[in-house]
Structures are given as C-alpha cells and as structure tokens.
C-alpha cells in the first residue's frame, strides 16, 4: 500500500477553487434558458465539498465548468494556491463518472493506464503504476480482464483507480456511486472517504444522496431547482475518519434533516413547475 497515490508527488498543489458570480445561459429552441444563476462557491483546499440539489439543477454543469470543459456565460472560475495567489497554471484534475466510462476494448490495466499512456509514459513504468493503483482499490489480479467481465462495483473501483493514478490535485466525482446498489455504495463510500483523507486532495463531489454528502463532505452546497442557485452552505462538523457508524452521531441526524428540508421544498417546487409547464 505504498507509493505516490497516498502522498501526492513533489510540487503538487491542492488549490482552493472559487466560483464567483458564475451563471450559465444556453439556447434552446430559440429562447435563452438560465441553467445556473450567480453562483458563489468556495471549494476549500484539501477538503471535500459536496454539491447536492434536485435533478436538473445544473450540478453536473457546474462540474463541467470547473473542469474547464464548458465556459461560464458570466462570472469567474479561479484556482487559488496555498500562498493565496491564483495558480500560474490550471491544476491537474481527474474525474470519476457515474456511468464508469471504461473503454470496453481495453483491459483493466490499460484502462487505468490510459491517462499515463496519453502523457507518453513508457509501457513498463505505467504498468507498474496501474497495478499499484488497482491494488489500492482491491482489484489486484484483475489486470488482464475486460470491463465487461466485471460487476458494476468493480468497474467503478477501476474508474477510481484510473483517476487516482493521475495523481490529480483536484478530484472531481460526478455522482460516482449513483449507478450502484445500496450495499456496494456504502462500502465504496467508506473506501473513498479513507483514500481521499490520506491524499489531502481538493475534492468536488456531485451527488443526489444526502447520506453520501454528509458522510464524505466537509462542506455541502445545496442548490435550488432550475435555475441553480445556492440555497444554503452547510458545514459538516463530524469527526473523521467517518464510516457508517457516523450516522449514529446525533449531529448526523441534524445535518440530514436540515439538508432534507431544503431539498424537499426545492423538489416540490420543481415538480409543481413541471406540472405548470405541462398544463
């Protein structure tokens, strides 16, 4: 269990990410649709920030903007280094996806090594790194299998290994456990919480699970239904490392209820909005 996956490599900077006044407007059927409205968020350096909100509130769009795949219509995105100054270069980022997105024609080790291969790392070296990453997610021995031969939970562990092997300074989790069954999800949440704790990376977690947000995050942003606005920022002050046992903490119930209350009104509002739209 050694190596550079747990302690980040030399020169790694875990930045604070700032969204200031970020809005996103897109064209649909000739009219302008406001998806995200004037977001102000800070994703603290080396901490886990969760974004939670009703379906279609623009959570994943927020992740796309942070990743730099989609420009914001208004507002700024900045990465601030430990010295309080904007980073001279964008940070290394890697994403874990809800739908796993493994390359079905590549073996597990070649999936994990994809990013290293693209960066031009020699084959022998990247194989060593890929095997090490696979051992970290308890998938040693599956190197030569294909994704189609693995269960959903195993595939997502490959997805985690593939992101972590890149030693990202910012780890983006796009509903990473949304496609998994409840038991697998619990186990992977615990494993991920422990892994993230060790590496001290800046993590952005998009989720629709309150439990997941409270168990993994230091800060939870609750978004409103479309257009996405910040409804509340909740600091989660539960001892770490957290596990399923943390749900027995009295404070856990408090956080859960607070977030649920905020979400419930938003979900109801969006449901009524849809009903109104159909009428």
Q: Does 243 bind other proteins (CB under 8 A)?
A: no
Q: In terms of residues, how long is the chain? A: 279
The residue range among 12-20, 21-29, 147-155, 200-208 that interacts with other proteins, by the rule CB under 8 A, is 147-155
**Is 2:193 a contact under the CB 8 Å cutoff?**
no
Q: Does 26 bind other proteins (CB under 8 A)?
A: no
Q: Give the rounded distance of the alpha carbon of 153 from its chain centre.
A: 17
Q: Does 177 bind other proteins (CB under 8 A)?
A: no
CB of 233 to other proteins, least distance (A): 27
- Phi, psi torsion values for 233, nearest 5 degrees: -120, 120
Helix (H) or strand (E) holding 50: strand 48-52
Stretch 83-112: interaction string toward other proteins, x if CB under 8 A: ----------xxx-x-x-x-xxx-------
> Which residues, other chains included, contact 237 with Cβ-Cβ below 8 Å and sequence gap of 6+?
251
Q: Which of 47, 129, 162, 226 binds other proteins (CB under 8 A)?
A: 162
CB of 44 to other proteins, least distance (A): 22
Cβ burial, residue 120 (10 Å; 0-12/13-18/19+): exposed
**Of the two residues 110 and 266, which places its CB atom closer to other proteins in the complex?**
110
Q: Where are the alpha helices (DSSP H) in 165-249?
A: 182-199, 210-216
Q: Which of 114, 177, 252, 255 binds other proteins (CB under 8 A)?
A: 114
Q: How many CA atoms lie within 13 A of 177 on its CB side?
A: 22
Q: Which of 151, 241, 243, 244 binds other proteins (CB under 8 A)?
A: 151
Q: Does 260 bind other proteins (CB under 8 A)?
A: no
Beta carbons within 10 angstroms of residue 68's beta carbon? 10
CB of 4 to other proteins, least distance (A): 17
Site for other proteins in 116-135 (CB under 8 A): 117-119
Q: How many CA atoms lie within 13 A of 25 on its CB side?
A: 8
**Of the two residues 153 and 200, which places its CB atom closer to other proteins in the complex?**
153
- Phi, psi torsion values for 9, nearest 5 degrees: -70, 170
Place of tokens 């927020």: 62
Q: Does 255 bind other proteins (CB under 8 A)?
A: no
Q: Which of 146, 184, 208, 238 binds other proteins (CB under 8 A)?
A: 146
Which residues form the interface with other proteins (CB under 8 A)? Answer: 67, 69, 93-95, 97, 99, 101, 103-105, 114-115, 117-119, 146-149, 151-152, 162, 166
């Amino acid at each position: 269990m050694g190596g550079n996956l747990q302690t980040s490599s030399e020169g790694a900077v875990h930045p604070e990410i700032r969204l200031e006044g970020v809005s996103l407007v897109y064209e649909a059927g000739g009219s302008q649709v406001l998806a995200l409205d004037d977001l102000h968020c800070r994703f603290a350096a080396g901490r886990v920030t969760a974004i939670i909100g009703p379906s279609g509130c623009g959570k994943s769009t927020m992740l796309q903007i942070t990743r730099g795949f989609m420009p914001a219509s208004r507002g700024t995105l900045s990465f601030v280094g430990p010295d309080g100054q904007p980073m001279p270069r964008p940070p290394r980022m890697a994403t874990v996806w809800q739908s796993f997105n493994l390359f079905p024609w590549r073996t597990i080790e070649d999936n994990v090594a994809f990013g290293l291969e693209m960066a031009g790392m020699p084959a022998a070296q990247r194989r060593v790194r890929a095997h090490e990453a696979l051992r970290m997610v308890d998938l040693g021995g599956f190197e030569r299998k294909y994704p189609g031969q693995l269960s959903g939970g195993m595939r997502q562990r490959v997805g985690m290994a593939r992101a972590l092997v890149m030693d990202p300074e910012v780890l983006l989790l796009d509903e990473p456990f949304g496609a998994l069954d409840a038991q697998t999800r619990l186990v992977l949440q615990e494993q991920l919480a422990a892994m993230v704790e060790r590496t001290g990376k800046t993590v952005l977690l998009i989720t629709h699970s309150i439990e997941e947000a409270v168990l993994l995050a230091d800060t939870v942003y609750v978004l409103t239904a479309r257009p996405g606005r910040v409804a509340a920022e909740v600091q989660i002050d539960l001892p770490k490392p957290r596990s399923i046992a943390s749900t027995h903490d009295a404070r856990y119930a408090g956080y859960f209820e607070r977030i649920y209350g905020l979400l419930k009104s938003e979900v109801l509002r969006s449901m009524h909005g849809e009903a109104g739209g159909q009428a």
